[in-house]
Amino acid sequence: FFSCFFVMQTERPIEVYLNVYDLVEHNRYVHSIGVGAYHTGVEIMGTEYSFGRLEIEGATGVFECPPKSVLPLRESILMGEIKTTPQHIADVIDSLKPEFLGTSYQVLTRNCNHFSDALCRQLLGQSIPAYVNRLSWLGTFVQCLLPPEFQSNVPEQIPVPPNRFPGNPSKLSEVPDANVKSKSLTEEDLTQRRERHARAAMKRLQQIQ
């Protein structure tokens, strides 16, 4: 017990690696232009830490596994070295677990790469390479064109704001129908909106290239 406690409390240089995995084979065609679909995990002292979806309310999505064992490995990047104790490493990871609950996982806005970035920032004060999560960033601009599972969660109902004007609200119903103008989005409006989002995303992609 005392030897284990001593090891956990002893400062030493600890290397931090980012292991980047290919999620799809198409990465070999687009990796050179700085995009692709990737999974990442942070390797520290022989253990890899990552984040995934877990359908258990209140449970963290942070998990650990043997290094370089998840998917086809693209590269292992030495992010840096930190002189600290193993206990400090464990404390930092534990502090992130409540922030990355399994039910909060979202492909575009809260995925494994967001966790890897948060952990590297906490330990080393630096972000992971931008290309790793660039596809998710671009996807946020065209969410309306993507399947529901790729879109951010939205509340089922929009809260009704409180009445900010004095008077009897029932008087609104007394306004003649001819003076009430309402407009709903038509299928043509939705198509035009999707096209604008797609053009904006392509423009951003060209700027990145």
Q: Give tens-digit pLDDT for 88-120.
A: 999 999 999 999 999 999 888 889 999 999 999
User: Which are the catalytic amino acids?
Assistant: 39, 112
Buried residues in 52-75 as b, exposed as e (16+ CB within 10 A): eebeeeeebbbeeeebeebeeebe
Q: Is the pLDDT of residue 174 over 70?
A: no
pLDDT of residue 15: 97
Q: How many CA atoms lie within 13 A of 61 on its CB side?
A: 22
Mean pLDDT of 51-56: 91
**Ramachandran angles phi, psi of 16, nearest 5°:** -120, 120
Q: Is the pLDDT of residue 149 over 70?
A: no
pLDDT of residue 172: 42
Indicate whether this model's pTM tops 0.75: no
pLDDT tens digit sequence for 32-41: 777 788 899 9
Residue 61 binned pLDDT confidence (cut-offs 50, 70, 90): very high
pLDDT of residue 142: 43
Mean pLDDT of 108-135: 92
